Amino acid sequence: MPKGDGLLNHDLLPNDKGPQDQCGVFGVWAPGEEVSKLTYFGLYALQHRGQESAGIAVSNGTQLLVYKEMGLVAQVFDEATLESLKGHVAIGHSRYSTTGSSNWENAQPVLRTTKNGHLALAHNGNLINTTEIKERVSNQVKKEKKFQSEFKTTIGTTDTDLVTDLLAGYPDLSIEEAAMRELPLLKGAFSFVFMDENTLYGARDAQGIRPLMLGKLERGWVLASETAALDIVGASFVREVEPGELIAIDEHGLRSQTFAQKKQKGCLFEFVYLARPDTTISGQNVNATRVEVGKRLAREFPVEADLVIPVPESGTPAAIGYAQESKIPFAQGLVKNSYVGRTFIQPSQTIRQLGLRLKLNPLKEVIAGKRLVVVDDSIV
């Protein structure tokens, strides 16, 4: 019987224990630039979106390489590794999961062999029709018997594996043509960056649930989950990839196609928690949005108190807004250990609880005897 998490009506594949959708993705096409290092810094800027594993795929036009390991971006990559990843096009991924397996096999980018070379893909999102996708991949294998032995060893167990299998499994179509055929059939949230030896691709689901930004370098283009990553690598923001849009970037320039009608909904949690405060989504600065949420909270739930304190870091802007609107003094009443990761995106409840104890410690001399308004970004 299909299994679900009680929140979304979707099937889970074997070994896939639940949503894994708040990752960070980055892609760059820039001949003459050190694209692996640009991708490294882009992933570093997106580290808050996923702390379990990191990976980079890079191509010089003839060879496509993937390097990925468990750990933070700075732990996975060193100078020597980045120097070995030469090319003009690259994609990267930092992985997040609330549940599900946290192991090397689920690290991205995913690599597959195609008729004409290779395909690497990185995914931020969660697909809800994985059983249907797996059936389509199996049907591809049966139709293309000369590739059957290869597919027997590469059919994956995660939604990202299956999408990569699907796009790589058309010997008579280009990657771009395969994407235009298959992307409309995917259900759920996805922002993809993917590449072959020469071309960078980006795609976003029709509802625009997960963000994907397009930026311009002097000698190339960048795709990233957040505008903050564009800022870090010196790319100017051009626009968001539209919901239902496929972008392809190569030596001929940038091409855009629509694979599904736009039905934009977005995800509120990007503004509340996931995105960096210096990121802009749908024309709205995340920090300013959080401050405004705090102001509205003060108007809707006024209280008598001595201090407003935040749960740092993502609760701080809302606490500032609450203090500004309520005229109650703002103070830092909790100290955060900067070396402890985001507790919500740790893979188990036990680790989250231990991390919370390490992460926050009260400033007793500030809060002792005070009536407090404690503002956090959310209750999860």
| Catalytically annotated residues | 23
Residue found by looking up tokens 């700075």 in the block? 74
CA gap 191, 11 in Å, rounded: 20
CA gap 289, 277 in Å, rounded: 9
Beta strands 307-310; 372-375: pairing state = parallel
Half-sphere exposure of 62 (CA within 13 A, CB side): 0
Contacts of 316 (CB under 8 A, 6+ apart): 310
Q: Per residue, what are the HEC states of the chain?
A: CCCCCCCCCCCCCCCCCCCCCCCEEEEEECCCCCHHHHHHHHHHHCHHHCCCEEEEEEECCCCEEEEEEECCHHHHCCHHHHHHCCCCEEEEEEECCCCCCCCHHHCCCEEEECCCCEEEEEEEEEECCHHHHHHHHHHHHHHCHHHHHHHHHHCCCCHHHHHHHHHHCCCCCCHHHHHHHHHHHCCEEEEEEEECCCCEEEEECCCCCCCCEEEEECCEEEEECCHHHHHHCCCEEEEECCCCEEEEEECCEEEEEECCCCCCCCCHHHHHHHCCCCCEECCEEHHHHHHHHHHHHHHHCCCCCCEEEECCCCCHHHHHHHHHHHCCCECCCEEECCCCCCHHHCCCHHHHHHHHHHHEEECHHHHCCCCEEEECCCCC
